[in-house]
Amino acid sequence: MEKLLEVKNLNVTFETHGGTVQAIRDVSFDLHRGETLAVVGESGSGKSVMTKSVMRLLADNGNIKHGEILYHYEDGTIVDIAKLRDGEMHKIRGAEIAMVFQDPMTSLNPTMTIGKQIMEPIMKHQNLSKKDARQKAIELISMVKIDRPTKRMKQYPHEFSGGMRQRIVIAVALACNPNILICDEPTTALDVTIQAQIIDLIKELQQQTKAAVIFITHDLGVVANIADRVAVMYAGKICEIGTSSDVFYTPAHPYTWGLLASKPNTDNLGEKLYSIPGTPPNLLDPPKGDAFALRSNYALELDFEEQPPMFKISDTHYAATWLLHPDAPKVEPPKVVQRRGAKKGVTNNG
Amino acid sequence: MKKVLSILFVLTLAILLAGCKGDKEISGSGMIQDVNVRRAISMAIDKAYYTDTILANESYPADYYIPYNFYGGIGDNGEGVDFRVRAEQVFGDFLPFTKYDMPAGSAESQSPSGYNHYNIEEAKQLWEDSRKRFGIEKDETVVFKMLVHNTASWTSLYDHVKAEIEKNLTGTKIKIISVTFGEKLDKAPTGDFDILFSGWGPDYMDPITYLDLFVTGNGHNNIHYSNPEYDYLINQAKIGAFQGQERLDAYVRAEKILLQDDVALLPIFQSNSVGLRRTQLQNFYTQSVGPDYILKWVSWDTTDDAWAAKEADLKAARIDGDETVLKLLETSKIPDMASFTTTDQVSFYNLAQINEGLMVAGNPQSNEQYLPGMAESYTVSEDGKVYTFTLREDQPWVKSDGTQYNNEVVTAEDFVFAWRKLADPRVASEYSYLLETIGVKGWEIAYEDVTDMTDAEIDTELAKLGVEATGEFELTVTLNTAADYFLGMMSFPSFYPVNEAFYTSLGEDYGKTLTPENLLYNGAYYLSNWDNNGHTLQKSDLYWDKDTVSIDKVIYELVESAEPEVQVQMYLDGDIDSVILRTGALVETYGARSDVRTTGSTTAWYLEFNINNH
Amino acid sequence: MLRYVWNRILMIFVTLFLILTINFLLLYLMPGSPFQNPRLTPSQRERIEDKYGLNDPVLVQYGRYMYKVSKLDFGGTIATNTYDDIFEEYIIDRLPLTAKIGGIALIIGTVIGITFGALAAIRRNSWLDNSVTVLGVIGVSIPSFVFAAILQEVFAINLDWLPLFYREANPDIGHSLKDQNLGMIMPIIALSVLPIASIMRYMRTELVEVFSSDYILLAQAKGLSKPAVIFKHAIRNALIPVITIIGPMAINLIAGSLVIERFFNIPGLSNSLVTFTLAKETYATLAINFFYSFMYVTVILIVDILYGVIDPRIRLASNSKLGLIGKLIKSIKRKFQSDNAGGEVNE
Amino acid sequence: MNNMKNDFSKIKIDKSKLKLVSNRIEESEEISGVSLGYWKDSFRRLLHNKIATISLILIGFIFIFSIFITSTTPHSTVIEPQIKDPDTGQMISKKSLTSVPPRIKGLEWLGWFDGRVDKLLPKIALENEVKYPKDTYEIVECEEGNTGKEMCTIDLDVYKQNGIEQLYFTFGTDQLARDNWTRVWAGVRNSLAIGLLAAVFDIVMGVIYGSICGFYGGTKVDNIMMRFIEIYGSIPSIVLLILLLSFMDRGFGALIIALGLTGWIGVARMVRAQYLRYREHDFVLASRTIGASTKRLIFKHIFPNIIGQIVILATFSIPAAIFYEASLSFIGLGLPTDQASLGTLINNGITQRSVSAYLLWIPTIVLSIVMLAINLLANGLRDALDPRLRGR
């Protein structure tokens, strides 16, 4: 599969009154055409910061300390987004990489008509005349399944419901056929019924446009529905990455276990739900070893001293935990996770 | 949060406490009834410091009520006598009087004439005795309420008086109640004060204009002062019981009762002013009574010697070809120009330039107080109660374009009409009291309650007023009593003539300000231009005495609320030709220039003690 | 929309009536008399007051006044014979100048304030931002009469570049039109300090807030250049709250600043308001008061309408304060919405 | 990532440590849960703002100092100092103490606090050696003045001229021989007190009124109350002030009430808006469902949420009140001059500026510093109390 994006050893920090917050610590992953990568994790784990770094939309006090974000153009040229000049970045944003934000209520400009907001990226990137851009915008509105597009063009965001607004945001994102679509928790702020519609819409449009999707969420249900691959983030690091089935059925990291165990599903019906004890670490002063160790029931002594490297489990599956070291004691994942794995018919290879 | 709030609260409390710490305070309204308390206060104030250091404008610190340079009564040789000179002759225990040649700030300037002279030791003694007599404890502070008006220029005086009393009389506090001038007039009659700041300028050339205020029951007697002897002296003088020297001596006695025996007043100073004025201006002197200047007599010295090197360009501006121009500053608007209703100094001043009464104020260079104006000549009956004026027959009524109005000239009827307007209870002129002052027969109609009378009835009553046109150009005035100052009063604007036909054509709009068309002129000047920026007086070519008038055009620039420093700057820039230095600071800066002029005035400024305080 | 404006205008009349009534009562309660000559004895004064009906029962006076006002006669000065109709002869006469000076000061204040406020927000934490912040604070920290004194001292007295104060062009006195225009410079500068400072501060804060909003992020994500984001998306949204403070500021400036008027001899309204109030010239005070209130409510209406033009959310928004009218607007709005609701998916 | 291989030999670790230990959740809570209270956090953030901290300290210092100075020198704000000449034991005359420029021991070399003034005088005035003794001045320059007289600028040592060389007046004296130093501090104290009390008045009135409006938002009560505010707000405040002052004795109390009466509307509007905002919030609905009383709702649930806003508004209204009082003094409606405020001092200074410029500039600079400090503190408070900026 064609590689679109390569993130290597990305480190992002924020300067605050309290000191330097290490929001992203040494994150690496890559993304291929047509695939959907879901990034899951608790709030504050660095998911949004990571995607915003890819778009270079970090707040003023945030900066990319080191690492590379390599974008592969269709003609084969490769650029490092982390070092790109502003002018060149403008060409990538919207045209190559587009983004859908979490809250549709606030992500549209309240003082600009819907049509104008959709036409903006089209006119910017595709050099179309105003008339053609308008035509294209109308097409986009109907593409995201909003009826009477011509009339909608003249309306303002406040005349739309949340779901409709999110559709518009998606239409804006897709306006220039981007290769990568970043969806930053696009359904969190919506009703459950509308969530499903939006996810279906994204899926459908992805199939039409063959774009790669980075889908950020903390909702594992959504992940199972949409993702080809899943990255689990904790305290600014990716602690496990693999295909959906890797992560869902044979998770290797204790944090992933916790996440899966705390999600209600048919496997743990009737049982008391598990919850991960404690709170995430303060990234002003991240712990020395494995950041999750403090909250983990499977913590090794070494976890408190050394960062675990990314252990390769299979060609597609990696996890960062000392439990994967051959000399580590064998531990049993929680029952719920085991049951899930058994369902798939594969045992945890620990 | 509670902590923050409580800290704030404590801090606020702390400030409040710091602001008003002190002893037990008791009202001084009882003590002020005591003559020795009043005397102690009177002696505790260093007036010379105020006049010499704060004002620095050669005002006199006053221990007296009736000012210097005020001539009253008739002396032995038949001429006016300076009241204070006579007072010294009667009560010869005053310090020697040196008047104008006394240098400011010197020992001689410390109140040469008067009563209750500044004397800290005696004041302290009197105060301590009074405290004992009233049984005031050591830790008690006596609070006197001082009612004043909040004009900015007076605040120094209030602060000074307060500081002096509090410093010299231990255990006193002066609470300054500062209100607007209008409010003060309302508050004063209620008697809710212990000390009241007042000033009085004379309406006419007789000491009675001052002394009348403190007669029992007078409307201005806010302190309810009442002394039978004082009343007797004034009332007898009023009805003409005393004549000449005798009358003057009665006044001197009355003043002594008021100041020395009863200490009803605490005189502070007699105001003079120091100003800058072009050295080339001649006859530009103030009068002690009536309008400040009479422009008729003013002239420019046009000789080249008079214009020093750097002011040559000013000469070009002031004497442009045939026309001579004078530029002056006006700091307040003219409120009303109808001579029989207006009340205001600015209005009176301007009316005195554009209209003329039976008499006109004399040239300050000469000794004459007044000269015949519209009246060419007059005769007085033997008892001094009937005056017959013969008017000029050739003085036209002038319009605001300088031409004659309907071929009309000033006649005796114009005076009768104006005087009746002044007396008309329907007009309710504020200055109708002047008719009582000069004692015109039938003045009572002015105060009568006429609500039940028809217009015709009122007109009949008005016709009984002692002013009659006995011919087209002959006016007869009948008085109840003979008064020396009657003729002088005839130059006062309230008694100026008004053309009836013109008045009727305008009605209430007559004399309306900012509209020169709503007036007729018979004076040396007429108003040629009048708007919000000021007004222009143009020499009238139809004036009977136009040859005396030297300046062709007088431009008044209206700058309300101009800071004293700004006014001086205007003078220095050549915008105006005369300016008053209103602060001591300015006098200090500019006081040694060669164009400095000192102008005297006969306005007395004093404190009144609320004697009849309940 | 029209109906909304119409209703608001109706409401203005009701408000103005109430304002007039309350003002009348307040001024009636104020002690004192317009006849303030010290030589008047109390009985004389009462007689004159009777003549002007000032001693009538309050209801009679009020009724008489309101009857006159209903005929658009606001009365004149009582104690001075200058104005028969204060509105016609005084306010209308003085307004153009104060409006001109205030207007220019407002325009200068708005333009400079918005420009520098925006620049500061864009270049956050730069030297420009810091100096804008400091200047903004200084601008609101130093009283205007101190500014006026400094200006006068420096430019008129020491340098002699500008006239000491404002003077109307008057060939008779010798003041040219040039003097008149030069005379306006200092008052305008002194007046515009406060608007510049406060608009600058406000604009900066608002723009910073707008910059942190999602739609700016989205606009950036579209690939728009920075100027495009700022001008097309940010400024307009930041302007909405700024307008709220410009409205009342405009009233204050056009009404004129008391202190500046005194300092620079500008024949304005606020100085007269104080003079008339202190002189107890009830009708004149009421007329100016009424005029101010009229401006106030009108400007608020204009600001509200302007609001609608800039902010589509409020274009037809109801105003909960308006009660009956609010309900009316709500129903209009509902009607409007149901027109579009047809195609809405079941969201 | 694909090129990553599990090369365990490269990972050098202490294998003995690869053993399970019990979790340390308490520790995790402890480390990550450094949770600060709202006020503590705000205060911490305020202290991080250097300018605001300096302002806070400065205001506190000025405040305490002004109270200290004015309480240790009794009556000096009203009465000029009475000073005995240490040599002769005689009282120094008031006249010698009038309009004396500032002089500070040890700072004479600065050129500002040396007790000397420049004066422009006609040359003949210098011949009066009683007023200007020869040794008290140096002639700077002489030139022909515009009246044709020779005018000289002299550098005059006023202390020597007045024979009070042994004395030092830090801020000089005014035209009434009052010590400017004590008067300036009394002015600071009074101005601050006016500002604070007016702000307290604003807040109390505004919060009560705004709370009632906000709580009954949308109902008839609110409607009528807002109408009233609208009408009240459109009456020019200067008219209200004059009216009020005509009923009361002019002075401290009247001024504070007058300032407060015109300033609370803004607070009331803000409080109402905030109430309307919070009224619909879930936590208020939640406490409603469990039957919380109206009083409890207002004071325990909604009020704490808007207190930050109120503090900010209050801080901004302090300089506004000081400013307003100063302007009122300028038009003669402020405090009586015997009770100094910065406004009355500046106003006095304006009338004296040609001779005693220090009487204008010293209070002006002090006022500007106080206003700057309060405004900067208010700015800092706004940033610190903004919940959106928490933790940054």
Domains, chain D, with CATH or none: 96-162 (no CATH), 180-389 (1.10.3720.10)
Question: In chain A, what is the greatest distance between 2 CA atoms, to the nearest angstrom?
Answer: 67
The predicted pLDDT at position C346 comes to: 32
Candidates B312, B315, B334, B333; CA nearest to B323 is B315
> Does the beta-carbon distance from D327 to C149 stay under 8 Å?
no
Distance from CA of D47 to the nearest CA of C (A): 19
Mean pLDDT of C43-64: 84
Rounded to whole angstroms, the Cα distance separating C210 from C217 reads 10
Which chains neighbour D (Cβ–Cβ under 8 Å, 3 or more pairs)? A, B, C
> Does the beta-carbon distance from B565 to D252 stay under 8 Å?
no
The predicted pLDDT at position D356 comes to: 85
Q: What angle do CA A35, A36, A38 make, to 5 degrees?
A: 150
D218 touches chain C (CB under 8 A): yes
B535 touches chain C (CB under 8 A): no
Instruction: Note whether C touches D: 3 CB pairs or more under 8 A.
Output: yes
The predicted pLDDT at position B578 comes to: 92
A87 touches chain C (CB under 8 A): yes
B569 touches chain C (CB under 8 A): yes
Is there a contact between A215 and A226 (Cβ–Cβ < 8 Å)?
yes
Higher pLDDT, C332 or D381: D381
Query: Per-residue pLDDT tens for B526-568?
Result: 999 898 888 999 999 999 999 999 999 999 998 887 788 888 8
Query: Per-residue pLDDT tens for D95-116?
Result: 888 888 888 888 777 777 888 8
> Does the beta-carbon distance from A329 to D24 stay under 8 Å?
no
Instruction: Note whether C touches A: 3 CB pairs or more under 8 A.
Output: yes
Distance from CA of D332 to the nearest CA of B (A): 6
Mean confidence (pLDDT) of chain D? 78
The predicted pLDDT at position B411 comes to: 94
- The 3 state secondary structure assigned to A119-184 is HHHHHHHHCCCHHHHHHHHHHHHHHCCCCCHHHHHCCCHHHCCHHHHHHHHHHHHHCCCCCEEEEE
Higher pLDDT, C181 or D1: C181
Is there a contact between A40 and A184 (Cβ–Cβ < 8 Å)?
no
Which chains neighbour A (Cβ–Cβ under 8 Å, 3 or more pairs)? C, D
> Does the beta-carbon distance from D196 to B15 stay under 8 Å?
yes
Predicted confidence band of residue D77 (pLDDT cuts 50, 70, 90): very low
Query: Per-residue pLDDT tens for B410-452?
Result: 999 999 999 999 999 888 888 888 898 888 999 888 888 777 8
Which residues of chain A neighbour D28 with C-beta distances below 8 Å? 277-279, 281, 294-295
Lowest-pLDDT range, B29-43, B370-384, C246-260? C246-260
Residues 6+ apart with CB under 8 A from D118: D140, D153, D154, D155, D156
Does residue C87 fall inside a structural domain?
no
3-class DSSP assignment, residue D85: coil
pLDDT above 60: residue C338: no
Q: Which of B200, B563, B571, B577 best tests the C interface by mutation, with the highest count of C CBs <10 A? A: B563
Task: Read off the amino acid at residue D221.
Answer: V
Nearest CA in chain D to B105: D95
The predicted pLDDT at position D10 comes to: 64
Distance from CA of B221 to the nearest CA of D (A): 23
Rounded to whole angstroms, the Cα distance separating C144 from C187 reads 10
Distance from CA of B574 to the nearest CA of D (A): 11
Residues 6+ apart with CB under 8 A from B6: none
The predicted pLDDT at position B109 comes to: 43
Which residues of chain B neighbour C271 with C-beta distances below 8 Å? 560-561
Query: Per-residue pLDDT tens for B120-156?
Result: 889 999 999 999 999 888 888 899 999 998 887 888 8
Rounded to whole angstroms, the Cα distance separating B531 from C174 reads 15
Query: Per-residue pLDDT tens for B316-360?
Result: 888 877 889 999 999 888 888 999 988 888 899 999 999 999 998
The predicted pLDDT at position B165 comes to: 92
> Does the beta-carbon distance from A278 to D8 stay under 8 Å?
no
Q: What is the CA radius of gyration of chain A?
A: 21
A60 touches chain C (CB under 8 A): yes
The predicted pLDDT at position D35 comes to: 55
pLDDT above 50: residue B111: no
Distance from CA of A332 to the nearest CA of D (A): 12
The interface residues of chain B toward chain C in range 513-532, judged by CB-CB distance below 8 A, are 513-514, 529, 531-532
* Residue B61 bridge partners (DSSP): B269
Candidates A165, A214, A158; CA nearest to A36 is A214
Candidates B4, B24, B309, B313; CA nearest to B143 is B24
Mean pLDDT of C262-269: 83
Which residues of chain B neighbour C279 with C-beta distances below 8 Å? 182
Mean pLDDT of B69-81: 61
Predicted confidence band of residue D11 (pLDDT cuts 50, 70, 90): low
The predicted pLDDT at position C256 comes to: 65
Nearest CB partner across the interface for A125, out of C221, C223, C347: C223
D29 touches chain A (CB under 8 A): yes
Does residue C26 fall inside a structural domain?
no
Which of the listed ranges A292-301, D81-90, D265-274, D360-369 does the model predict with the highest average pLDDT?
D360-369
pLDDT above 70: residue D4: no
Mean confidence (pLDDT) of chain C? 79
The predicted pLDDT at position B100 comes to: 34
Quickly count: other Cβ atoms within 10 Å of residue A2's Cβ. Answer: 11
- In this prediction, the answer to ipTM > 0.90 reads no
Query: Per-residue pLDDT tens for C22-53?
Result: 889 888 888 778 887 777 777 777 878 888 88
Rounded to whole angstroms, the Cα distance separating C118 from D150 reads 56
Q: Which domain holds residue C124?
A: 95-324
Mean pLDDT of B230-243: 83
Mean pLDDT of A200-219: 85
Which residues of chain A neighbour C343 with C-beta distances below 8 Å? 146-148
Does residue C142 fall inside a structural domain?
yes
Which residues of chain D neighbour B152 with C-beta distances below 8 Å? 332, 347, 351
Q: What percent of chain B has a predicted confidence (pLDDT) above 70?
A: 90
Which residues of chain D neighbour C138 with C-beta distances below 8 Å? 368, 372
Nearest CA in chain B to D127: B592
> Does the beta-carbon distance from C222 to A121 stay under 8 Å?
yes
Tokens 């909960």 locate to C320
- CA atoms D383, D386, D391, D392: torsion sign: negative
pLDDT above 90: residue B467: yes
For chain A, what are the domain ranges? 3-227, 233-343
The predicted pLDDT at position B287 comes to: 73
Query: Per-residue pLDDT tens for A110-159?
Result: 888 888 888 888 888 888 888 888 888 888 888 888 888 888 888 888 88
Residues 6+ apart with CB under 8 A from D132: D121, D125, D126, D154, D156, D161
Does residue C184 fall inside a structural domain?
yes
> Does the beta-carbon distance from A294 to D17 stay under 8 Å?
no
Distance from CA of D373 to the nearest CA of C (A): 9
Tokens 């529905």 locate to A225
Phi then psi for residue D35, to 5 deg, are -95, 130
The predicted pLDDT at position C77 comes to: 84
The predicted pLDDT at position D47 comes to: 81
C321 touches chain D (CB under 8 A): yes
The predicted pLDDT at position D78 comes to: 47
> Does the beta-carbon distance from B565 to D78 stay under 8 Å?
no
Q: Which of D354, D356, D360 best tests the B interface by mutation, with the highest count of B CBs <10 A? A: D354
pLDDT above 70: residue C331: no
pLDDT above 70: residue D390: no
Q: Which of D2, D12, D21 best tests the A interface by mutation, with the highest count of A CBs <10 A? A: D21
Instruction: Note whether D touches A: 3 CB pairs or more under 8 A.
Output: yes
Nearest CB partner across the interface for C81, out of B218, B338, B425: B338
The predicted pLDDT at position A268 comes to: 61
Is there a contact between D119 and B592 (Cβ–Cβ < 8 Å)?
no
Q: Treating both helix axes as pointing N-terminal to C-terminal, what angle do B83-90 and B244-256 enclose, rounded to 10 degrees?
A: 80
Which residues of chain C neighbour A145 with C-beta distances below 8 Å? 345
Distance from CA of C224 to the nearest CA of A (A): 6
Distance from CA of B94 to the nearest CA of C (A): 32
Residue C242 maps to which CATH number?
1.10.3720.10
Predicted confidence band of residue C112 (pLDDT cuts 50, 70, 90): very high
pLDDT above 50: residue A347: no
Nearest CA in chain B to D94: B49
The predicted pLDDT at position D76 comes to: 47
Which chains neighbour C (Cβ–Cβ under 8 Å, 3 or more pairs)? A, B, D
Which residues of chain D neighbour B589 with C-beta distances below 8 Å? 119-120, 354-355
Task: Read off the amino acid at residue B482.
Answer: A
User: Beta strands A19-32 and A3-16: pairing type?
Assistant: antiparallel
- CA atoms D21, D26, D29, D30: torsion sign: negative
> Does the beta-carbon distance from C223 to A194 stay under 8 Å?
no
Mean pLDDT of C331-342: 42
The predicted pLDDT at position B356 comes to: 93
CA distances from C164 to B565, B591, C154, C264 (A): 11, 22, 10, 7
Mean pLDDT of D291-319: 75
Residue B2, both tokens: 């509670």
Query: Per-residue pLDDT tens for A210-245?
Result: 888 998 887 777 788 788 899 998 888 888 898 888
> Does the beta-carbon distance from C23 to D323 stay under 8 Å?
no
Which residues of chain C neighbour D227 with C-beta distances below 8 Å? 15, 18, 321
The CATH number for A3-227, chosen from 3.40.50.12160, 3.40.50.300, 3.30.830.10, 3.30.450.20, is 3.40.50.300
Mean pLDDT of B456-470: 91
pLDDT above 80: residue B108: no
Distance from CA of A181 to the nearest CA of C (A): 11
Q: Say how many domains are in chain C.
A: 1
Mean pLDDT of D22-34: 55
Predicted confidence band of residue B469 (pLDDT cuts 50, 70, 90): very high
The predicted pLDDT at position B566 comes to: 85
Indicate the burial class of C50 (C-beta count within 10 angstroms; 0-12, 13-18, 19 or more). middle
List residues of C whose CB lies inside 8 A of any A CB. 124-125, 212-215, 217-226, 228, 232-233, 236-237, 240, 310-313, 337, 340, 343-345, 347
